[in-house]
Structure 1
Amino acid sequence: MAKTAGFCMGVKRAMDIVLDAVEEEKELYTYGPLIHNPQVIEMLESKNVKVIKNLDSVQSGTVVIRTHGITPAVRQEIKAKGVKINDATCPLVARVQSIIKKHANKGYYTVIIGDEGHAEIVGLMGFTSGKGFVIGTVEDAEKLPPMDKVCVVGQTTLDVSKYKEITKRLKEKYPDCVIAETICDATEDRQGEVLRLAKEVDAMIVVGGKNSANTTRLAKVSESAGIPTFLIETEAELDESKISRFNIIGVTAGASTPNWMIMRVVKRLEEIEKRSRKGFQKLYNAAEFLIRSNLYIALGAAFLTYGISYLSGIEPSVYFMAVSFLYFFSMYNINHIADKDSVRINEPDRIEFYEKNRDILLKIGVTASLVSLALSAFSGFTSFLLMLISICLGIAYSVKIFPSYISRHIKYQRLKDIPASKDVFVALAWATVCVLVPASAKVWGGINFSIMASFVFVFLISYIRSVLFDIRDIQGDRFVGRETIPILIGKEKTKIFLLAISGLAAIGLFIFSRIGWLSSLGYLLIIP
Structure 2
Amino acid sequence: MSKGCTLFRDSTNNLNFHDITKALWKDFIYGGHIFAFGAICVAIMASIIFAIPITWDFMLIIYLIFYTIYVYDYFTGAEEDKNNYSSRSEYLQNNDEKMLLATIYGSIVAIAFTYLIYSDIKNMFIGFGILVLGLMYHSHFKSITKKLPAFKNLFVSLVWGLLIFTMFVYYGYQIDISAMVISAFVFLRMVGIQIMFDIRDIEGDRIKGLLPIPAIFGHDKSISLLKMLNIVTLILLAVGVYMKILPIFVLMIMLVMAYSVMYK
TM-score for both structures, normalised by structure 2: 0.80
Task: Determine the structure 2 residue equivalent to 1:350.
Answer: 88
Match runs of 1:307-456 below 5 Å: 307-357=45-95, 358-376=97-115, 378-400=118-140, 414-417=143-146, 418-433=148-163, 435-444=164-173, 446-456=174-184
In structure 2, what is the equivalent of residue 524 of structure 1? 252
* 2: CA distance, partners of 1:427 / 1:453: 14
How many residues are matched? Answer: 237
CA deviation map 1:31-59 (0-9, x unaligned): xxxxxxxxxxxxxxxxxxxxxxxxxxxxx
Do the aligned partners of 1:382 and 1:440 also contact (CA within 8 Å) in 2? no
Whole-Å separation in 2 of the counterparts to 1:471 and 1:392: 27
- Cα distance in 1 for partners of 2:124, 2:155 equals 19
Can you list the C-alpha shifts for 1:208-252, whole angstroms capped at 9, x where unaligned? Answer: xxxxxxxxxxxxxxxxxxxxxxxxxxxxxxxxxxxxxxxxxxxxx
C-alpha distance after superposition, 1:307-357 (max 9, x if no partner): 122123322222221111101110001111222333222211111211122
Q: Say if 1:318 and 1:518 are closer, same or farther in 2 by CA, change over 3 A.
A: farther
After superposition, what is the alpha-carbon deviation per residue over 1:88-141, rounded to whole angstroms, capped at 9, x for unaligned?
A: xxxxxxxxxxxxxxxxxxxxxxxxxxxxxxxxxxxxxxxxxxxxxxxxxxxxxx
Could you tell me how far 1:362 is from its partner in structure 2? 2.1
Q: Which residue of the partner structure matches residue 225 of structure 2?
A: 497
Q: CA separation in 1, counterparts of 2:249 and 2:113?
A: 31
Task: Return the alpha-carbon distance in structure 2 between the equivalents of residues 379 and 423 of structure 1.
Answer: 31
SS of 2:162's equivalent in the other structure is helix
Partners of 2:112 and 2:45 lie apart in 1 by: 22
Give the structure 2 partner of residue 254 of structure 1.
none
Matched, 1:509 2:249: no
Gaps of 5+ in 1: 1-277, 402-412
More helix by share: 2
Conservation of the 8 A alpha-carbon contact between 2:240 and 2:246: yes
1:438 alignment partner AA: M
Amino acid corresponding to residue 421 of structure 1 in structure 2? F
2: CA distance between counterparts of 1:374 and 1:414? 33
Residue 415 of structure 1: how far off its partner (Å): 4.4
User: Counterpart of 1:19?
Assistant: none
Contact 1:423 1:466 in 2 (8 A): yes
Contact 1:397/1:416, CA 8 A, preserved across alignment: no
Verify the 8 A CA contact 2:202 2:218 in the aligned structure 1.
no
Distance 1:354 1:309, change over 3 A: same
Whether the aligned pair in 2 keeps the contact of 1:342 and 1:477 (CA below 8 Å) is: no
- Post-superposition offset of 1:284: 5.4
Instruction: Give secondary structure in 1 for the equivalent of 2:54.
Output: coil
Query: Which structure carries more relative contact order (alpha carbon 8 Å, separation 6+)?
Result: 2
Q: 1:373 to 1:493 in 2, by over 3 A?
A: farther
Partners of 1:393 and 1:300 in 2: how far apart? Answer: 18
**Structure 2 alignment gaps of length 5 or more:** 1-14, 257-264
After superposition, where does 1:89-488 map in structure 2 within 5 Å?
286-357=24-95, 358-376=97-115, 378-400=118-140, 414-417=143-146, 418-433=148-163, 435-444=164-173, 446-488=174-216
DSSP-derived class of the 2:119 partner: coil
**Map of 1:251 onto structure 2:** none
Deviation per residue, 1:466-512 (Å, 9 max, x gap)? 11100012232233332211111222221121111111111111221
Q: Distance in 1 between matches of 2:149 and 2:115?
A: 32
What is the CA deviation profile of residues 131-165 of structure 1, one whole-angstrom value per residue up to 9, with x for unaligned ones?
Answer: xxxxxxxxxxxxxxxxxxxxxxxxxxxxxxxxxxx
Aligned equivalent of 2:7: none
Q: Indicate if the aligned counterparts of 1:335 and 1:398 stay in contact, CA closer than 8 A.
A: yes
